[in-house]
Amino acid sequence: MSIIEKIGLNALLRLDPEQAHDLSIRALALGLVPLPGAPVTSDRLRVALAGLSLPNPVGLAAGYDKNARAVPALMHAGFGFIELGAATPRPQPGNPKPRLFRLRENQAIINRFGFNNDGASAIAARLSERPSGIPVGLNIGANKDSTDRAADFAEVTRIAGSAADFLTVNVSSPNTEKLRDLQGAEALAALLDGVMEARDALPRRVPVFIKIAPDLDNAALSDIAAVARNAQIDAIIATNTTLSRDNLTSRWKTEAGGLSGAPLFERSTEILGRLYRETGGKIPLIGVGGIGSAQQAWDKLRAGATAIQLYSALIYQGFSLASRIAEELDDRLSREKITLPELTGSAPGLGPDSTAW
């Protein structure tokens, strides 16, 4: 981490969390943040994901740039791919403030934003103006006051699908009441039918992912894997934030919302491994949750991930974390003489016939 980045992070950490979030995006959009430029890449790091070509497997998770305000800068921040949003059909303000809390002692955050965004049309317009480069995806959701939330996902697909390189169906945010009910097998299958129909009407084929919660039991996870196979989903992102509050010490630990960051790593990695086993490794998985080092990225890949995404750790370690992880992964792949496809799902007990994590 450079001196400039350290100074910037320390300054942001002194501000209200949401003010710091907004200020960082403004600074990126104005070109005030030093960035590495081209992502770290090599023959070892390049990976194919659902028809997309990634220069490296380290991505940015949705939730940071909800409104696609700093896309060109983020495309030069060292990531192999980025995900924006979530976008809903209509603009909405989200939940009342305060709604973002830093748990510094736990290297975590709690948020209850509630899909605050400028709406699918505005976000699609900004996305369509981005430069060429790494894949840029859009996380899609439903309006809080919608009478048909499943239909909202199809509507965002129609409005913004052509502007993105992939779409992520977000039925796992804990901050929109009853949204997670759409993870049930019957409801999810119907929702995905609508999204796929809308996707198939677009001028080009856009891969569709789904993002799941870490708070699922084995039966629910099995159901989701079956629905994903039947719907021919292109990838599954595991996982979103958790409602669990185990082993936290911060004074903010009782705040409502989704917890992300270091405390989520173990649970999200367990879910990832179980999902890899459920799908037999036949659906690409993206590992998210608590990654703050190259070792943790390595562990996610071994648990079944084809690629990984960062978010919360960036608050404490800065954007240079993406390049550092990519560089260290490249070096370790070289030293251990293993390829990324060979690494994926290589943890003990994760073969398709395995019955234990």
Sign of the CA dihedral running 172, 174, 176, 182: positive
Separation of CA 141 from chain center: 13
Instruction: Tell me the two tokens of residue 130.
Output: 């981005």
Residue 280 has pLDDT above 70, yes or no: yes
pLDDT band of 353, cuts 50, 70, 90: very low
User: What pLDDT is stored for residue 351 in this prediction?
Assistant: 56
Helical H runs in 180-237? 185-200, 218-231
Instruction: State mean pLDDT over 148-172.
Output: 96
Residue 355 has pLDDT above 60, yes or no: no
Question: What is the distance between the alpha carbons of residues 146 and 149, in angstroms, rounded to a whole number?
Answer: 6
Three-state DSSP at 86 gives strand
Residue 82 has pLDDT above 90, yes or no: yes
- 304-318 in b/e burial notation, b at 16+ Cβ within 10 A? bbbbbbbbbbbbbbb
User: How high does pLDDT run on average in the chain?
Assistant: 95
Query: For residue range 1-49, what is the model confidence (pLDDT) as tens digits?
Result: 889 999 999 999 999 999 999 999 999 999 999 999 999 999 999 999 9
pLDDT band of 261, cuts 50, 70, 90: very high
Instruction: Tell me the two tokens of residue 28.
Output: 């990126």
Cis peptide bond upstream of 239, omega within 30:
yes
Residue 357 has pLDDT above 70, yes or no: no
User: What pLDDT is stored for residue 68 in this prediction?
Assistant: 98
203 DSSP assignment: S
Give the active site residue among 24, 146, 172, 173.
173
Instruction: State mean pLDDT over 163-180.
Output: 91
Identify the H or E element spanning 19. Answer: helix 17-29
Tokens 């009342």 sit at which residue?
A: 96
User: What pLDDT is stored for residue 177 in this prediction?
Assistant: 80
**Percent of all residues in the chain with a pLDDT value above 70, rounded to a whole number:** 98
Residue 260 has pLDDT above 80, yes or no: yes
pTM check: above 0.85 = yes
Instruction: Tell me the two tokens of residue 74.
Output: 């983020």
Cβ atoms of 76 and 134 within 8 Å: the answer is no
Question: What is the distance between the alpha carbons of residues 91 and 116, in angstroms, rounded to a whole number?
Answer: 7
Cβ atoms of 285 and 306 within 8 Å: the answer is yes
User: What pLDDT is stored for residue 354 in this prediction?
Assistant: 46
Whether residue 128 lies in the annotated active site = no
Angstrom distances, CA of residue 136 to CA of 85, 99, 256, 279, 310? 11, 26, 30, 25, 15
More confident site: 325 or 180: 325
pLDDT band of 53, cuts 50, 70, 90: very high
Q: Which domains does the chain have, with CATH numbers?
A: 34-343 (3.20.20.70)
Number of DSSP helices (H) and strands (E) in the chain, helices first: 12, 13
Instruction: State mean pLDDT over 245-270.
Output: 97
Instruction: State mean pLDDT over 231-242.
Output: 97
**101-105, 169-173, 318-322, 330-334, range with the lowest pLDDT:** 169-173
Residue 184 has pLDDT above 90, yes or no: no
Cβ atoms of 258 and 101 within 8 Å: the answer is no
